[in-house]
Amino acid sequence: MKGRYEPWEELLTDLSDCQELLALAQEEKDESLEGEISDAMDSLQTTFDRLNTLELLSDETDSMNAFVTIHSGAGGTEACDWASMLYRMYSRWVERKSFKMTLLDMQEAEGGIKSVSIQINGEYAHGLLKGEGGIHRLVRISPFDSNARRHTSFASVYVSPVIDDSIEVDIKPDDVRIDTYRASGAGGQHVNKTDSAVRLTHIESGLVVQCQNERSQTKNKDTAFKILRSRLFEYYRQKQEEEQAKNAAEKKDIGWGSQIRSYVFHPYTMVKDLRTREETGNIQAVMDGDIDQFIEEYLRYSSQNRE
């Protein structure tokens, strides 16, 4: 509560200082302070927008870090390339926020990524990203098509909180199948010779998680169980709210009819969220990680629906 309250007090103090500076400049007719005052107001506006967004984050898990998993869907090579583009988009968003990102697992495929799991650590990471869960649709002229035809591709994004020990999720050993396999990609002789990668399958829910970022099978297993606990927490919460079919994006067909956002590169450029109707024509900025307008609009949309 202190962390939520004090920034507003600081904002009011800074605003008062700016008002005093403005009054002084007007009194002395000093136009040289115009630039300083303008910059200060821009900074205050940015701070206000950020704090206002945080006021929309009130769920139990909003303040936690986040696991994000991206799966390629309908579209073959096109979809794998689309999954890699989304991975880059979220990576750039993490950089913009000065958050930290850890790669947990990546399954590469021809043209891009078949699936990738990452952990994002930062202030209210899960609260900000929870609205990104769902099917993302891409429309563009394919760089892989010699006839330069327009293609539609899909990828799913699944977001869950990195839950701490204060939240208990009971996982019975008999409910989980554990498979080990050799990690893929670069990693030296050790990676190629040991079955260090771990895949967990939760039999009741059908959830599958995997991890191969560590050389130690034990560490990968611990991380995989942490992700599984996170996923199961979301799974059971959605089940209790009787909204699993609507919200559990990874359980939907990754294809037509279930997308939350469209990214159109051709015949025009536009990114449009199909839930909030928020849109922009600056698709390049979005692909460079500038997705805050969609995040904030979803939080407002979600807050209004709860009310």
β-partners of residue 273 are 261
Q: Which residue reads 């996982």 in tokens?
A: 171
What is the average per-residue pLDDT within 85-102? Answer: 97
pLDDT over 90 for what percent of the chain? Answer: 57
267 preceded by a cis bond (ω within 30 of 0)? yes
Mean pLDDT of 202-226: 90
pLDDT at 209 over 90: yes
Bridge partners of 270, per DSSP, are 264
**Predicted local distance difference test score (pLDDT) of residue 277:** 96
What is the model's pLDDT at position 191?
46
pLDDT in tens, 119-175: 999 989 999 999 999 999 999 998 877 777 888 999 999 999 998 766 677 788 888
For residue 246, the model assigns a pLDDT of 47
**Comparing 66-167+249-306 with 173-240, is the CATH topology the same?**
no
pLDDT in tens, 232-276: 888 887 776 654 344 444 555 565 556 899 999 988 999 999 999
Domain 66-167+249-306 of CATH type 3.30.70.1660: yes
Q: Does pTM surpass 0.85?
A: no
| E-assigned strand segments in 73-221 | 100-109, 112-121, 134-141, 150-161, 176-181, 197-202, 208-211
pLDDT (0 to 100) of residue 254: 62
- The whole-angstrom separation of Cα 256 and Cα 5 is 44
* Domain residue extents for the chain: 2-54, 66-167+249-306, 173-240
Reported in sequence order, the residue ranges of the chain that DSSP labels E, i.e. its strands, are 66-72, 100-109, 112-121, 134-141, 150-161, 176-181, 197-202, 208-211, 259-264, 270-273, 279-280
Alpha-carbon Rg for the chain in angstroms: 22
pLDDT digit string, tens, across residues 10-39: 999 999 999 999 999 999 888 888 899 999
Amino acid identity at 294: F
Q: What is the pLDDT of residue 249?
A: 47
Euclidean distance between CA atoms 70 and 40, whole angstroms: 39
Per-position DSSP letters for 219-254, written without gaps between them: HHHHHHHHHHHHHHHHHHHHHHTT-HHHH-GGGS-S
pLDDT value, residue 253 = 58
Across residues 165-187, what is the average pLDDT? 77
173-240 maps to which CATH number? 3.30.160.20
Q: Residue 211 is encoded by which pair of tokens?
A: 């991890």
Block residue for tokens 């959605």 = 238
Smallest CA-to-CA distance from 231 within 108, 59, 69 is with: 69
